[in-house]
Structure 1
Amino acid sequence: MSEYVLYNAPQSTCSQRVRYTLHTKGLPFEEHKLDLFRGDQLKPEYLAVNPNGLVPALVHDGASVLDSSVIMEYLEDIRPDVAPLRPSDPLKVAAMRAMMRYIDEVPTPAVRVPSYNLAFLPHYQAMTEEEFLAVCESKPLRREFLLKMGRTGFPKTEMDEALGRLQRGVDRFARWLEESGGPFVLGHALSLADIAIMPVIVRMDDINLGHMWASASAVGRWLDLIRNTDAFQQTYYHGSLLTEKYPHLQTLKTTAA
């Protein structure tokens, strides 16, 4: 078995963060791709790794490390000598961690709402009510989220609220870039905060929400820089974008353009 074993899902934004961090640091890992709609994350063998039934989970030398933000910090803790992703100044570290908390609390959960309504809802609509409730009960950290969505999708009020949170997240991100002088949120060097927000911005662009940073050119430049990294190409292999998995989203994007 490899020293690092990553259990994740291609389209999972939290999984994408961890894949990018591993690739940036050049750490080879064994990847297990879980099919979340087949319930791979709820099978006993995976629950033994992560009792929360969520992805990603990293197993390092036989020990589980859970939660994408925790995994990213853990990788920096054990390999700070390779492609450092955390500044040396404690004040800048504190600022970086505050950014990561904001990202985890505002834009990251918000992007799930349009993602589920546009891409994932048909999976749940195909279930019976009993099957859907069983799935909700089996996911302790997503139970309320799924129950709010139901089998008819999030209502317009929920979508509008999520889009508002995404806009605030993008505006805050643009301000970080402006204040740091760019091209990254802490200045010249890529950090864990950039990687934390990366899947949100990539997802928004993928589902035709890129117009939200039309007035913030720094965000577009940042995205171009990220996409041109080797780690991005390795992280976003085919099937990682929703438009690659769900062709109707590509049609909607083309129509809107």
Structure 2
Amino acid sequence: MKLYHDPVSTTSRPVTLLVETLGLPVEMETVSILGGEQNRPAYLAVNPKGLVPALELEPGIVLTECTAILQYLACYHAPELYPCAPLKRARVNEMLSWFSTDLHLCLDVLTVYPQTLLAGTFSAETCAEMAAFAAPRLARQLDLLDRTLSTHPFVAGEAMTIADFLGVAYVTMAELVDFDFGPWPAVCAWIARMKSLSGWDTAYAAFEGLRAAGRLVPAA
């Protein structure tokens, strides 16, 4: 298997964290989205969507979309991370969907991205309006997540699942803008638990390096 990914891609990091933590035999190939490599013919031949990640199972058979790749890898290599029991799996799918929609929209799309990955795309006034629109909605969502994590250690229950791998990638994007998670201590504790995974430092090294250097604006 070959994983096409970019360490600065929000949706690549859940997959690379899973691969690194489990020690899966996956060949890794970086596709630089800051350099525009996702739009080059060689990569479009692999994934016509021009997005990362993409998992090539064998020549001509490619799986795209972060959640689908997480589900596939967990089913084959770590079924405890994506349990088969109908209710438990539904809980995981519920959190995957919620992180990918409501929380991602308010925290990342409306709050973080305009100041970082999309810097210069919108005026300062528009960025402020977007953040102001998102703020009360985001607070309610983080309140909900904090209540969930105050009753059990992971987002779908007592055991870690692929929903935690996806969720922590979306949530930690807020570190780019020094977002204060102090009012949500259970969320802070969960982030710390996820950062203690054996694959974290490798999966997040390039992202942290770019964050420290302030290089998160796409090349012209």
TM-score by structure 2 length?
Answer: 0.85
Q: Please name the residue that 1:17 is paired with.
A: 14
> 1:20-49 deviations in whole A, cap 9, x for unaligned?
121232203222222213210011111111
d(CA) in 2 for partners of 1:204 and 1:151? 19
Kindly indicate whether the alpha-carbon contact (under 8 Å) linking 2:70 and 2:162 is maintained by their aligned counterparts in 1.
yes
User: Which of 226, 232, 237 is matched with 2:194 structurally?
Assistant: 226
Kindly indicate whether the alpha-carbon contact (under 8 Å) linking 2:115 and 2:127 is maintained by their aligned counterparts in 1.
no
- Could you tell me the percent identity over the aligned residues? 27
Unpaired runs of 5+ residues, structure 1, are 126-149, 249-257
Q: Please name the residue that 1:167 is paired with.
A: 139
SS of residue matched to 1:188: coil
Moved over 6 A (4+): none
Ranked by relative contact order (alpha carbons within 8 Å, sequence separation 6 or more), the top structure is 2
1:192 aligns with 2:162: yes
Specify whether residues 155 and 115 from structure 1 end up closer, same or farther in structure 2 by C-alpha distance, changes over 3 A only.
Answer: closer
Q: Please name the residue that 1:141 is paired with.
A: none
Kindly indicate whether the alpha-carbon contact (under 8 Å) linking 2:15 and 2:66 is maintained by their aligned counterparts in 1.
yes
Distance apart, 1:242 and its partner CA: 4.8
d(CA) in 2 for partners of 1:217 and 1:240? 23
User: Which of 125, 130, 149 is matched with 1:158 structurally?
Assistant: 130
Kindly indicate whether the alpha-carbon contact (under 8 Å) linking 2:2 and 2:28 is maintained by their aligned counterparts in 1.
yes
Amino acid at match of 1:195: F
Q: Please name the residue that 1:56 is paired with.
A: 53
Kindly indicate whether the alpha-carbon contact (under 8 Å) linking 1:8 and 1:15 is maintained by their aligned counterparts in 2.
yes
- Choose 1 or 2 for highest CA Rg: 1
Kindly indicate whether the alpha-carbon contact (under 8 Å) linking 2:114 and 2:127 is maintained by their aligned counterparts in 1.
no
How large is the Cα RMSD of the aligned pairs?
2.4
SS of residue matched to 2:63: strand
Amino acid at match of 1:191: T
d(CA) in 2 for partners of 1:239 and 1:100? 22
d(CA) in 2 for partners of 1:109 and 1:51? 24
Distance apart, 1:50 and its partner CA: 1.3
Kindly indicate whether the alpha-carbon contact (under 8 Å) linking 2:3 and 2:53 is maintained by their aligned counterparts in 1.
yes
Amino acid at match of 1:220: C
SS of residue matched to 2:199: helix
d(CA) in 1 for partners of 2:45 and 2:35? 18
Kindly indicate whether the alpha-carbon contact (under 8 Å) linking 1:103 and 1:197 is maintained by their aligned counterparts in 2.
yes
> 1:111-155 deviations in whole A, cap 9, x for unaligned?
033333222345xx5xxxxxxxxxxxxxxxxxxxxxxxx454644
d(CA) in 1 for partners of 2:67 and 2:198? 21
